[in-house]
Amino acid sequence: MNRDPLILAVDHGTSGMKVALVTISGNILGWETEPVRLIITPDGGAEQSPDEWWAAFLSAAQRLLKREASLRPRVSAICCSTLGEGTVPVDQNGNPLSNCILWMDMRGAPHLKKQLHGLINIESASIIKVMRFVRLTGGMPSMTGKDPAGHMLFIRDAQPDLYAKTYKFLNVLDYLNLRLTGRFVATYDSILTSWVTDNRKPDAIQYNRKLITTLGLDAAKLPDIVPCSEVIGTLKADVAAALGLRDDVKVVAGSIDTTAAAIGAGAVDDYKVHLYIGTSSWMAAHVPFKKTDVLASLASVPCAVPGRYLLTALQATAGGNLTFLRDQVLYHKDELLQEADVPDIFKVLDQIAERVPAGSNGVIYTPWIWGERAPVDDRAVRAGLYNLSLHNTREDVIRAVLEGVALNTRWLLKPVERFLGRKIDSIHIVGGGAQSAVWCQIFADVMNVEIKQVKDPIYANARGAAWIAAAGLGEIAFADIPQLVQVSQAHAPDEKNRALYDERFAVFTKIYRQMKGIYKGLNR
């Protein structure tokens, strides 16, 4: 066993860079993390520095490999899982020409609407162009401007000098792979939300000239496309030296987080659903068909599993609401709390939420703190606390935030079931939020489904990246993965809360219907 190969798996999320040493069977032998700064620009943008990503990767990986020095000779490959829908313009030498525009950035919206507008429109996009996007890709650019299609048009129109200097536009995964190997490549899933590929054959994703022309982009600025499990090269000599690794360590292309999480959650079989709760959240399931539900913003899209698509239902902000509560309300270091020594706040929130009855003593929270994506694509909607009175306490607000995210996830459940053509009775849950047994039980009660808490759920993306690498190296087959996943606890719905949560859900969706016009007026 001590000669078995290891994967250095990278899990790069919005909040930080994580690295892990993972066995072929999925055991985590070591783990390090490094925070990454979020930059909110004066014009409403959301960015991060690619140089800071790389520094964070080196820092975390060096600490891990120094501490686990005896394991370094066993590292046979590096594979990344990263946040998706970021855009990094780079020059011919691979140097970033600006910060990365993130998935939260909506500055591209007006440029996208101008580009796609026609005589007859759906949400400001020509119906003919929408039909072309859906037919070829399975989806279409988000008219919120949050994905690379909008990002690239923002750069083209608002920063033409930068656009002219750009050699390639890279997603987050693509940039890390460039730094690791020197190759300019995108994966089947990382290129998806540029909306320039023909996805009708899941094992042969390729650029489509009409889509590139429709978006008004320069095809030469797009990288080559490779499968997620392809070995794209060996680790660059200077990186290998910096990490103390062999110079024959392979780099496997990897995937964006939604793809990796599905694999790390063990939800590889057709129609098996997983729920990821991190800064954002999603429900996803592998399916044997390409399909689109335009009204609910659902689509099955290219992924890592050969011959399959991944139904992905994205929601904008989940655990990010807790981070906001921690940093801006409970422990914001202003005059009220100059010297706060913040404990493990999320464990404390669990303890508090557990002692509050279901329904949060009447308080309802809507978690749309950065707009929403599904089952409605609405950039204007915002978070809110409802039915707050003098009788309520901070404890009620804390539980209401947890319940609000669960209610929002339930809102996705019916469209997902309709898409899959079957009722969902069990869901694997992973991500940082899945560490909370209290929150897992709330999800089970609100959604009325069994929630299976995957063991060490925070490692799901790293484990998924490792298994993509293991499949690329021929060490395992994707069909082996469900047998490798362990479930720590199964949470059955508590029937005594059924009527209460059904009532709360009806109010929750009514709040959206009645408030959406107000939000649109406030946040044009």
- The pLDDT of residue 278 is 81
Give the pairing of strands 185-187 and 168-170.
Answer: unpaired
User: For 453, phi and psi rounded to 5 degrees?
Assistant: -85, 105
Number of domain units in the chain: 1
163 found inside a domain: yes
407 found inside a domain: no
Which CATH number fits the domain that encloses residue 65?
3.30.420.40
- The pLDDT of residue 156 is 98
Q: Residue written as tokens 């306490």?
A: 393
Burial of 288 (0-12, 13-18, 19+ CB in 10 A): exposed
pLDDT at 223 over 50: yes
| Residue 437 neighbours by CB under 8 Å, 6+ apart | 350, 453, 489, 491
Burial of 517 (0-12, 13-18, 19+ CB in 10 A): exposed
Closest CA to 225 of 173, 192, 185: 185
214 found inside a domain: yes
Asked if 28 and 36 count as a contact pair (C-beta separation under 8 A), the reply is no
Provide the pLDDT confidence category of residue 159 given band limits of 50, 70 and 90: very high
- The pLDDT of residue 344 is 62
The token duo for 183 is: 């190759």
The arithmetic mean of pLDDT across residues 87-95, rounded, is 98
- The pLDDT of residue 408 is 96
3-class secondary structure per residue, 307-325: CCEEEEEEECCCHHHHHHH
Asked if 274 and 265 count as a contact pair (C-beta separation under 8 A), the reply is yes
pLDDT at 296 over 90: no
Provide the pLDDT confidence category of residue 524 given band limits of 50, 70 and 90: confident
Higher model confidence: residue 449 or residue 124?
449
Give the DSSP per-residue string, 313-382: EEES-SHHHHHHIIIIIIS--STT-TT-----HHHHHHHHHHTSPTTGGG-EEE--BTBB-SSS-BSS--
pLDDT at 407 over 60: yes
146 Cα distance to chain centroid: 13
In order of 71, 74, 178, 206, 250, the CA distances from 65 in angstroms are 8, 11, 21, 37, 17
Give the DSSP per-residue string, 217-270: --GGGSPEEE-TT-EEEE--HHHHHHHT--TT-EEEEEEEHHHHHHHHTT--ST
Stretch among 2-6, 128-132, 370-374, 466-470 having the lowest mean pLDDT: 2-6
pLDDT at 94 over 70: yes
- The pLDDT of residue 339 is 40
- The pLDDT of residue 317 is 77
Q: What are the strands of the beta sheet with 281-287, ordered from one edge?
A: 292-293, 298-302, 309-315, 281-287, 273-277, 426-430, 450-454, 487-491
- The pLDDT of residue 324 is 79
The token duo for 342 is: 């913040």
In order of 15, 33, 63, 172, the CA distances from 59 in angstroms are 15, 9, 6, 18
132 found inside a domain: yes
339 found inside a domain: no
Q: How many CA atoms lie within 13 A of 5 on its CB side?
A: 20
331 found inside a domain: no
| Residue 415 neighbours by CB under 8 Å, 6+ apart | 293, 296, 298, 313, 374, 375
Separation CA 123–CA 131 (nearest Å):
13
| Residue 12 neighbours by CB under 8 Å, 6+ apart | 18, 36, 53, 57, 80, 81, 82, 83, 172, 176
235 found inside a domain: yes
Higher model confidence: residue 333 or residue 199?
199
Q: Residue written as tokens 């990094």?
A: 88
Q: What is the pTM of this model?
A: 0.89
List the domain range (segments joined by +) for residue 76.
6-265
Stretch among 32-41, 78-87, 268-277, 321-330 having the lowest mean pLDDT: 321-330
Higher model confidence: residue 320 or residue 285?
285
> Average model confidence (pLDDT) for the chain?
93
- The pLDDT of residue 325 is 79
Provide the pLDDT confidence category of residue 464 given band limits of 50, 70 and 90: very high
Residue-wise pLDDT for 25-78, tens only, equals 999 999 999 999 999 999 989 999 999 999 999 999 999 999 999 999 999 999
Separation CA 458–CA 4 (nearest Å):
24
- The pLDDT of residue 430 is 95
409 found inside a domain: no
